[in-house]
Structure 1
Amino acid sequence: METGIRSLRRRWAAPLAALAAWTAAALPVAAIAAQNTITIVVASSPGTGPDILARTVSQQWAAKSGTAAVVDNRPGASGNIGADHVARSRPDGSTLLMAATTFATNAAVNRTLPYDPVKDFAPIALLGTGTLALAVPPSFPAETLKQFVARAKAAPGTINYGSPGNGTPQHLAMELFKQEAHIDLFHVPFKSAGGAVNDLAGGHVSAMIVPLHTIQPLVQGGKLRVLAVMSAERAPSMPQVPTFREEGYDQVQVDVWYGLLAPAGTPDAVVRKLNAEANEALKNKDVVASLAKVGIEPAGGTPARMADTLALELKRWPPVVRAANITAD
């Protein structure tokens, strides 16, 4: 009997192995077409830009395709916890990462990431961008960017600026400006963006690079003044404020960005399907209106556009980090 069983195993070993290989290759594509739930991992707390965007897009996905997209907040370690979770997830399109600017800045600051930001992910779509701005309290004696630079050069190292912490996009963006303008400012890292903005409005710190949409009420209330924006064009909400490029700082063009990534190895058919659904969601007028309220401009485009954006960001920040000698907290 044992000899017969061994003979059958040998006879069916090759066909069964071939069937297993075919199933493993075909299952992800079939699964994405039939699955009822997609998990979007947000590597930050509820209420942040990535979280708002993930929830807005997921609601549209559910309404349009019937696919429920569940938002899973996994903050911590500057976003590395959530990113690592997605990198280790099954590459079938059921688990995605809502990546943001910090995904690239973390790679510049942290030399021992638990994942590779390129090799471990498959780009799906660039979802949106937001405008960064240089803001000061009304008590600060500068009405323009030129006046700000002049005061900084007149008293090197005496003007301080706040950020949500070492290695954050706001910190690196200010360091990029410092290097371009050849000025010396003193960095005051906070534990949160909210705390930094509150102290900025209270005049306890003199300047900050901050997403424009988060400070618009404070600007309108006369508690903050915006000297320049880091976008390619002037912000529609504040057309009177010049860009850094207009003021002569050509390299200081920095946006906050948000995009969807899947685990590496996700089949191309799955990536294309998710990309098409994301682009469809971004065209919805209710989605556009919701994002406009929080200062996010819909982007969209091909997976290649997301890949190019990520490649540019990963290349841009390491020289800034090295020049400023920035290390992770």
Structure 2
Amino acid sequence: MASFRSVYCKFSECNVRPANIAELVLALWLVVGPAAWGQTWPVRPISVVVPFTPGTGIDLVARGVGARLSERLGVPVVIDNRAGASGNIGSEFVARAAPDGHILIVTAGTFVNNTAVNSNLRYDPIRDFAPIALLATGAQMFIVGPASSATSVKEVVAMAIARPGKMFYASPGNGTIHHLAMELFKFETGADIVHVPYKGFGGAINDVVGGRVEAMILPMAAAAPYVQSRQVRVLAVLSKERAALFPNVPTLGEEGYPGVQADNWYAMLAPARTPAEVVTRLNTETNAVLRDPAMSEALLKQSLVAAGGPAELLASLMKSEMERWRRVAIHAKIRAD
């Protein structure tokens, strides 16, 4: 029998519009798939919902993992971008999907953080989802603009304490992990720095570069180009260990603030009540994908580190993150816009 790859034509050869890719994959699978594999799961293409727009970091992670999962499971894995409301639209869709292992979600830490700042969510990350695997983690960076005289985080803290309310920090929006992380930093250090929320990363980092705000916390992948071009200075990373791409940058723990940690993390989950044997199989195959050196290299290019591990590891992370960020949100009186 012809393989799936031999049947699936190239865009240039069959004039398929990108909007029709998912429909084509499904149609081809219905023709060649079920009889060929004769298995109970999966019996049709797997849809992986990404609750953010195409081309974002999480979208690239999902596509890389999804392509390799497709090879291991013998079925197409189709990425379904359902962006909007800080990831809540796609998350709610998966929470209400049939728990048969054919609709999954690859999402980011905001999936849990949103519960800390939004009491109107129509899904519960713990109750409505079955964790499959932690896919990757990435460091957050504490940066200052070129106009700042601070050369260390301790100097930033000293300046903020000496001039309370006179220093400003940017974030890509109220209730984002970057906002929460800086408020945690303020709580742990006693620094009095005023929050300036923006609508996304662009305006926020441009104002740090331009000297209109002094500091910001943002993902390494977003900060790296500005650090490498010397438009900003990175003073510390918020991870437990130093970042491989910036080995000379200390952690906040090394700077004397071990209580301030905030990593980016990406994970795969299924709707609650998905059969345990399906979750176990997905965990096994996903871990095999993450152990592939090519996958690790692809993630490293995005300033991410392959994670993996048992589903229980992800479940524990989600619970601890939810509790921690709720405490920060309550203390700082943070609500999402």
Normalising by structure 1, what TM-score? 0.88
- 1:248-286 Cα distance to aligned partner (Å, 9 max, x none): 112101111111111001000000111111111111122
CA positional deviation for 1:143: 0.7
Q: Secondary structure at the match of 2:88?
A: helix
**Residue number among 144, 167, 179 corresponding to 1:171 in the alignment:** 179
Deviation string for 1:216-268 (max 9, x for gaps)? 12111110100111111111211211111111112101111111111001000
The 8 Å contact of residues 165 and 192 in structure 1, kept in 2 or not, is answered as: yes
Structure 1 match to 2:69: 61
Q: Which residue of structure 1 aligns with residue 226 of structure 2?
A: 218
Report the alpha carbon displacement of residue 297 of structure 1 after superposing the two structures with TM: 0.4
Is the CA contact 1:120–1:264 (under 8 Å) kept in the aligned structure 2? yes
Alignment partners' CA distance in 2, 1:312 and 1:32:
35
Alignment of 1:110 with 2:118, yes or no, is yes
Q: How does 1:172-251 map to 2 (within 5 A)?
A: 172-251=180-259
Q: How does 1:1-329 map to 2 (within 5 A)?
A: 33-329=41-337
Q: Highest CA radius of gyration, 1 or 2? A: 1
In structure 2, relative to structure 1, the CA distance for the partners of 1:240 and 1:34 (3 Å cut) is closer
Letter in 1 for 2:249: V
Q: Distance in 2 between matches of 1:67 and 1:178?
A: 48
How many residues align? The count is 300
Q: Specify whether residues 196 and 310 from structure 1 end up closer, same or farther in structure 2 by C-alpha distance, changes over 3 A only.
A: same
Aligned equivalents of 1:89, 1:313: Cα separation in 2? 25
The residue identity in structure 1 corresponding to 2:329 is: V
Task: Give the Cα separation in 2 of the matches to 1:54 and 1:170.
Answer: 22
C-alpha distance in structure 2 between counterparts of 1:123 and 1:32, whole Å: 21
Distance 1:86 1:50 in 2: 16
Give me the identity figure in percent. Answer: 49
> Which stretches of structure 1, 4 residues or longer, exceed 6 Å deviation after superposition?
none
Cα distance in 2 for partners of 1:135, 1:110 equals 27
Deviations 1:284-311 (A, max 9, x none): 1221111100111000011101101111
Q: Quick one: structure 1 residues 184 and 286, their matched pair in 2 at CA, closer, same or farther if it must change by over 3 Å?
A: same
SS in 2 for 1:328: coil
Residue aligned with 1:252, SS: coil
Q: Which moves more between the two structures, 213-222 or 286-295?
A: 213-222
TM norm structure 2: 0.86
CA distance in 1, matches of 2:206, 2:80: 28
- CA distance in 2 between counterparts of 1:204 and 1:70 reads 43
- Stretches of structure 2 that go unaligned for 5 or more consecutive residues are 1-37
TM-superposed CA distance for 1:202, in Å, is 2.4
Secondary structure at the counterpart of residue 323 of structure 1: helix
